[in-house]
Chains A and B, each alone.
Chain A
Amino acid sequence: MTLESKVPAGPLTEKWSRHKFELKLVNPANKRRFEVIIVGSGLAGGAAAATLAEAGYNVKCFCYQDSPRRAHSIAAQGGINASKNYQNDGDSVFRLFYDTVKGGDFRSREANVYRLAEVSEAIIDQCVAQGVPFAREYGGQLDNRSFGGAQVSRTFYARGQTGQQLLLGAYQALERQIAKGKVRMYPRTEMLDLVVHDERARGIVTRDMVSGKIESHTADAVVLATGGYVNVFFLSTNAKGCNGTAIWRAYRRGAYFANPCYTQIHPTCIPVHGDYQSKLTLMSESLRNDGRIWVPTAAGDARRPEEVPESERDYFLERKYPAFGNLVPRDIASRAAKEVCDEGRGVAHGGLGVYLDFEDAIRRLGVETIRDRYGNLFEMYERITGDDPYRTAMKIYPAPHYSMGGLWVDYDLMSTIPGLYVIGEANFSDHGANRLGASALMQGLADGYFVLPYTIGDYLSRHMGEGPLPTDHAAFGHVESEVRGRIEKLLSVGGARTVDDFHRELGRLCWDYCGMSRERGGLAKALEEIPRLRESFWRDVKVTGAGEELNQALEKAGRVADFMELAELMCRDALEREESCGTHFRKEFQTAEGEARRNDEDFTHVAAWEFTGDGNAPRRHVEELEFENVVPSQRSYK
């Protein structure tokens, strides 16, 4: 199978509008004859469910949380980008497009990114209309802040809770449709497999997480909006429940998995403080607007930060990247922090941390302004660490945060399985090898509000009158019994190690060999260790309780079992991509200054992996990336 990106012809600026015209439509009376399943209720899923229901489709929406309002989009702090150019600082659709392609180190599809920039403005309009309380200027206009990887101020924000407010906007739109009966919501329900019949996605098999009941759900199309997979690292900024099961099961049913090695390590997280640690907490990138990042010049300096004189501080980002300073993209900031820690100059528990200091900003702007901008973040930091950032520098360290990789989709956001759409973080489409801050919210909402609702009609219109496959069809029965078998297997291992114990070990392997920097030897080692660990998991895991009840251990076990497989694909992809690009930093491929060195000749492509059965090596497919509007260059933020 060759990968057809289906990018429409024509000039970049006209592709989307032309395509929207060319897409087949479903007339309003016919929309109510279609059923669409949406898995996930975050920004992408919630927005899509509400929008499709508004248009007239019948939607079934699933989430593992007890309410769609709790999807992990809620935790995004900093903001959402849009090319409104309200600040009159030279922003434009093209500049947002350019910054995003460049930020992604020229590993994304031009047409997708351009479309994203194009719809960014409508997103802000939509959210404001929903009552999202974005920050305002005294004149009543929307306020903006700067974010990493950009030299314009285009980030809209609602204190440090932008993701929450945008999600609640989508959630409220969704609840409105639930009240109208257009959306049936299934909270605490987890998708455990995809049903494919006649090479089309026909529905899903789920587990009711309260009763444990396994159920089939059928539809004319299935949309996955299940987020990213960086919980493969165990310690990440993702919510504990975030998992890769939905996309992994779809991969095993034939959807290609693209660029799994592109995982973003966010530079500003609270450092690890103990072995029992269950997750890492992100501090918004917006802090880098006013905070200065530094370490002591000398290794092993044990003084408190405020006791270190100016002359003995190394503001390493400002030193190395004078043009962007503390606002370099995330991958670069993370790597620079790792470098100084590797030199022994790190400052927190185990020497794994750098300072993020507001001393100057407080002197320049006053405590009140800083409190106004970051008050809730500072409080959160103090609550977790017991340190007061108004008085002493914060300590931060990079942590896994976001996966740019995901299921491969074409321009219409359809995967390689017809009728299976993938939106938001779950797909691979827009961020290339590195995502810029405040772009995840933009992409999730773009996909959900403004892209999928158009493109899905094109597919549905081609299947008018066919109707969904009945759930008593053998295709459903077959998948259901596989799902049941897997649950029984997990419950019957009866080993001696807990799921978390395995997960922690898997995470350590991934972090050590496929984390901020990677090299051939380490990846090869990981590819030996992971299958071994997986085997021992199925031999020695201990899952208590029964299947037909609320059983959190069982939920976790199923997710970790899938991570055990996904981790291997991630390492394999990292090994095969013999270049450094964006977050994927291979030690073998760097410039003399230690920057990522791309290999455009051989790797200007998307790697999309096809599942070929357990025990077989997955097949690597390639979608060549063509750059007609920007010239890939060595990224420079100096």
Chain B
Amino acid sequence: MKLHLRVWRQRRPDAAGAFADYDLDDVSPEMSFLEMLDVLNERLTLGGEEPIAFDHDCREGICGSCSLMINGTAHGPNRGTATCQLHMRTFADGDTLRIEPWRSAAFPVLRDLIVDRGAFDGIIQAGGFVSVNTGSAVEANLIPIGKPEADLAMDAAACIGCGACVAQCPNGAAQLFTAAKVSQLAILPQGRPERARRVLGMVRAMEESFGACSNFAQCEAVCPKSISIGFIARMNGEFLRAALAQPAAD
């Protein structure tokens, strides 16, 4: 396959960036998208140019490192697929591919296609946990959890924290990411004692850096784990309940 690539190049966080054009002549349809970039990088290196920096690690769709906007869609055109699991057979010979980093005020570009997603960790720090110290747990089977609840919690917990939801959202909102964690821990009995504190804290942290939800649902469409925006509704409900039940002094 022949492909034309337009890739965002930016040397430093504070430097100006621009699209650079590259042509590839012998792309195999069996290659993964990142392998295609590997091949380009090998060529660039041998030609004395600096390779394109991009985040990647497990290359099996679970670590959440890879983060490319491909032709205007986070993680490219395939549903439920992270960039690392996208294969070139998805594209046609002669296609032009525009590759950009995630764009969000909360995700500054570090270099080329790499952004800093530390704001996500900040949201988790604001309450995305169960406050249980090591050693203080009760016997695992003491609290039964119905299969439907466990399955629903797992649906939410599947989030890989890649940031595609933010990247795709016209508002740059982090609702799906935040809601997934809020929901997982609100559904499970272990997370209930601090559910109010959790949702208030996490929503506050989220809104410090990200936009608001307009129910576009584009996040769900690009989520590599296809996490449902139903969890956003759940988070909203949690938030409203917590906010209205809060003592006035708070």
Task: Enumerate chain B residues within 8 angstroms of A72, measured Cβ to Cβ.
Answer: 57-58, 63
Q: When the two chains form their complex, are residues A273 and B150 in contact, meaning their CB atoms are under 8 A apart?
A: no
Query: Given the known A-B contacts A133-B154, A175-B128, A274-B28, are A128 and B140 also in contact in the complex, defined by CB atoms under 8 Å?
Result: yes
Instruction: Please measure, in the bound complex, the distance between the C-alpha atom of A51 and the C-alpha atom of B153, giving whole angstroms.
Output: 25
Closest CB of chain A to B131's CB: distance in Å? Answer: 7
Say which residue of B39, B57, B147 sits within 8 Å of A137 (CB atoms). Answer: B147
Query: Given the known A-B contacts A125-B137, A161-B62, A545-B50, are A66 and B11 also in contact in the complex, defined by CB atoms under 8 Å?
Result: no
Interface flag for A9 (CB, 8 Å): no
Task: Enumerate chain A residues within 8 angstroms of B95, measured Cβ to Cβ.
Answer: none
Query: Given the known A-B contacts A168-B157, A281-B60, are A386 and B118 also in contact in the complex, defined by CB atoms under 8 Å?
Result: no
Interface flag for B211 (CB, 8 Å): no
Q: Annotate A480-500 by CB proximity to B: 1 below 8 A, 0 otherwise.
A: 000000000000000010101
Say which residue of A54, A496, A542 sits within 8 Å of B134 (CB atoms). Answer: A54
Q: How large is the interface on B (under 10, 10 to 19, 20 to 34, 35 or more residues)?
A: 35 or more
Closest to B124 in A: A175
Q: When the two chains form their complex, are residues B57 and A384 in contact, meaning their CB atoms are under 8 A apart?
A: no
Interface flag for B141 (CB, 8 Å): yes
Instruction: Please measure, in the bound complex, the distance between the C-alpha atom of A107 and the C-alpha atom of B34, giving whole angstroms.
Output: 39
Q: When the two chains form their complex, are residues B129 and A130 in contact, meaning their CB atoms are under 8 A apart?
A: yes
Stretch at the interface among A455-463, A506-514, A548-556: A548-556
Q: When the two chains form their complex, are residues A281 and B59 in contact, meaning their CB atoms are under 8 A apart?
A: yes
Stretch at the interface among B108-116, B215-223, B235-243: B108-116
A-B contact count (CB 8 A): 225
Task: Enumerate chain A residues within 8 angstroms of B12, measured Cβ to Cβ.
Answer: 549-550
Query: Given the known A-B contacts A133-B184, A239-B59, A273-B30, are A179 and B126 also in contact in the complex, defined by CB atoms under 8 Å?
Result: yes
Q: When the two chains form their complex, are residues B62 and A69 in contact, meaning their CB atoms are under 8 A apart?
A: no
Closest CB of chain A to B146's CB: distance in Å? Answer: 5
Instruction: Please measure, in the bound complex, the distance between the C-alpha atom of A68 and the C-alpha atom of B118, giving whole angstroms.
Output: 10
Instruction: Please measure, in the bound complex, the distance between the C-alpha atom of A32 and the C-alpha atom of B128, giving whole angstroms.
Output: 25
Q: When the two chains form their complex, are residues A129 and B45 in contact, meaning their CB atoms are under 8 A apart?
A: no
Task: Enumerate chain B residues within 8 angstroms of A132, measured Cβ to Cβ.
Answer: 157
Instruction: Please measure, in the bound complex, the distance between the C-alpha atom of A134 and the C-alpha atom of B184, giving whole angstroms.
Output: 12
Q: Annotate B138-169 by CB proximity to A: 1 below 8 A, 0 otherwise.
A: 11110111110011011001101100000000
Q: When the two chains form their complex, are residues A65 and B130 in contact, meaning their CB atoms are under 8 A apart?
A: no
Task: Enumerate chain A residues within 8 angstroms of B57, measured Cβ to Cβ.
Answer: 65, 70, 72, 239-241
Q: Annotate A168-185 by CB proximity to B: 1 below 8 A, 0 otherwise.
A: 100111011011000001
Closest to A281 in B: B60
Q: When the two chains form their complex, are residues A161 and B158 in contact, meaning their CB atoms are under 8 A apart?
A: yes
Interface flag for B64 (CB, 8 Å): yes
Say which residue of A164, A176, A500 sits within 8 Å of B160 (CB atoms). Answer: A164
Q: When the two chains form their complex, are residues A131 and B130 in contact, meaning their CB atoms are under 8 A apart?
A: yes
Instruction: Please measure, in the bound complex, the distance between the C-alpha atom of A135 and the C-alpha atom of B154, giving whole angstroms.
Output: 8
Q: When the two chains form their complex, are residues B141 and A141 in contact, meaning their CB atoms are under 8 A apart?
A: yes
Greatest chain A CB density within 10 A among B78, B114, B131, B150 is at B150
Q: When the two chains form their complex, are residues B45 and A54 in contact, meaning their CB atoms are under 8 A apart?
A: no
Task: Enumerate chain A residues within 8 angstroms of B144, measured Cβ to Cβ.
Answer: 136, 139-141
Say which residue of A124, A379, A550 sits within 8 Å of B53 (CB atoms). Answer: A550
Interface flag for B247 (CB, 8 Å): no
Interface flag for A620 (CB, 8 Å): no
Task: Enumerate chain A residues within 8 angstroms of B49, measured Cβ to Cβ.
Answer: 544
Closest CB of chain A to B7's CB: distance in Å? Answer: 15
Task: Enumerate chain A residues within 8 angstroms of B117, measured Cβ to Cβ.
Answer: 66-67
Closest CB of chain B to A269's CB: distance in Å? Answer: 10
Instruction: Please measure, in the bound complex, the distance between the C-alpha atom of A215 and the C-alpha atom of B190, giving whole angstroms.
Output: 41
Q: When the two chains form their complex, are residues B146 and A140 in contact, meaning their CB atoms are under 8 A apart?
A: yes
Interface flag for A370 (CB, 8 Å): no
Q: When the two chains form their complex, are residues B87 and A384 in contact, meaning their CB atoms are under 8 A apart?
A: yes
Task: Enumerate chain B residues within 8 angstroms of A66, measured Cβ to Cβ.
Answer: 55, 65, 116-118
Q: When the two chains form their complex, are residues A276 and B28 in contact, meaning their CB atoms are under 8 A apart?
A: yes
Greatest chain A CB density within 10 A among B11, B59, B64 is at B59
Query: Given the known A-B contacts A65-B65, A240-B59, A276-B28, are A383 and B87 also in contact in the complex, defined by CB atoms under 8 Å?
Result: yes
Task: Enumerate chain B residues within 8 angstroms of A501, measured Cβ to Cβ.
Answer: 42
Q: When the two chains form their complex, are residues A54 and B133 in contact, meaning their CB atoms are under 8 A apart?
A: yes
Q: How large is the interface on A (under 10, 10 to 19, 20 to 34, 35 or more residues)?
A: 35 or more
Interface flag for A75 (CB, 8 Å): yes
Q: When the two chains form their complex, are residues A542 and B64 in contact, meaning their CB atoms are under 8 A apart?
A: no
Interface flag for B85 (CB, 8 Å): yes
Query: Given the known A-B contacts A66-B55, A131-B184, A158-B157, are A278 and B32 also in contact in the complex, defined by CB atoms under 8 Å?
Result: yes
Q: When the two chains form their complex, are residues B121 and A175 in contact, meaning their CB atoms are under 8 A apart?
A: yes
CB contacts under 8 Å to B, within A49-96, are 50-51, 54, 65-70, 72, 74-75, 84, 86
Task: Enumerate chain B residues within 8 angstroms of A175, measured Cβ to Cβ.
Answer: 121, 124-125, 128-129
Task: Enumerate chain A residues within 8 angstroms of B46, measured Cβ to Cβ.
Answer: 496, 498, 542
Q: When the two chains form their complex, are residues A69 and B28 in contact, meaning their CB atoms are under 8 A apart?
A: no
CB contacts under 8 Å to A, within B68-103, are 78, 80-81, 85, 87, 89
Instruction: Please measure, in the bound complex, the distance between the C-alpha atom of A384 and the C-alpha atom of B55, giving whole angstroms.
Output: 20
Task: Enumerate chain B residues within 8 angstroms of A289, measured Cβ to Cβ.
Answer: none
Q: When the two chains form their complex, are residues A550 and B111 in contact, meaning their CB atoms are under 8 A apart?
A: yes
Instruction: Please measure, in the bound complex, the distance between the C-alpha atom of A553 and the C-alpha atom of B4, giving whole angstroms.
Output: 24
Closest to B156 in A: A133
Say which residue of B31, B50, B56, B132 sits within 8 Å of A129 (CB atoms). Answer: B132
Task: Enumerate chain A residues within 8 angstroms of B184, measured Cβ to Cβ.
Answer: 131, 133
Greatest chain A CB density within 10 A among B45, B78, B140, B160 is at B140
Closest CB of chain A to B10's CB: distance in Å? Answer: 10
Query: Given the known A-B contacts A141-B144, A172-B129, are A542 and B150 also in contact in the complex, defined by CB atoms under 8 Å?
Result: no
Q: When the two chains form their complex, are residues B126 and A131 in contact, meaning their CB atoms are under 8 A apart?
A: no
Query: Given the known A-B contacts A67-B117, A130-B130, A131-B190, are A544 and B38 also in contact in the complex, defined by CB atoms under 8 Å?
Result: no
Interface flag for B214 (CB, 8 Å): no
Q: When the two chains form their complex, are residues B118 and A67 in contact, meaning their CB atoms are under 8 A apart?
A: yes
Q: When the two chains form their complex, are residues A47 and B134 in contact, meaning their CB atoms are under 8 A apart?
A: yes
- Contacts beyond the supplied A172-B128, A383-B85, A542-B46: 14 A-B pairs with Cβ under 8 Å: A66-B117, A70-B64, A74-B63, A122-B137, A131-B184, A141-B144, A164-B158, A239-B57, A239-B58, A239-B59, A276-B31, A276-B39, A384-B85, A544-B51
14 pairs of residues in contact across A and B, judged by CB atoms under 8 Å: A65-B57, A70-B65, A125-B137, A127-B140, A128-B137, A129-B190, A130-B132, A140-B144, A278-B59, A282-B60, A544-B50, A550-B53, A550-B114, A552-B53
Write the residues of chain B forming the contact surface with A, with a CB cutoff of 8 angstroms: 11-13, 28, 30-32, 34-35, 38-39, 42, 45-46, 48-51, 53, 55-65, 78, 80-81, 85, 87, 89, 110-111, 114, 116-118, 120-121, 124-126, 128-141, 143-147, 150-151, 153-154, 157-158, 160-161, 184-185, 188, 190-191
Write the residues of chain A forming the contact surface with B, with a CB cutoff of 8 angstroms: 47, 50-51, 54, 65-70, 72, 74-75, 84, 86, 121-122, 124-142, 158-159, 161, 164-165, 168, 171-173, 175-176, 178-179, 185, 187, 210, 237, 239-241, 273-274, 276-279, 281-282, 379-380, 383-384, 386, 449-450, 453, 496, 498, 500-501, 542, 544-545, 549-550, 552-553
List 6 tightest A-B contacts by C-beta distance, closest first.
A140-B144, A129-B137, A172-B129, A179-B125, A136-B150, A133-B153
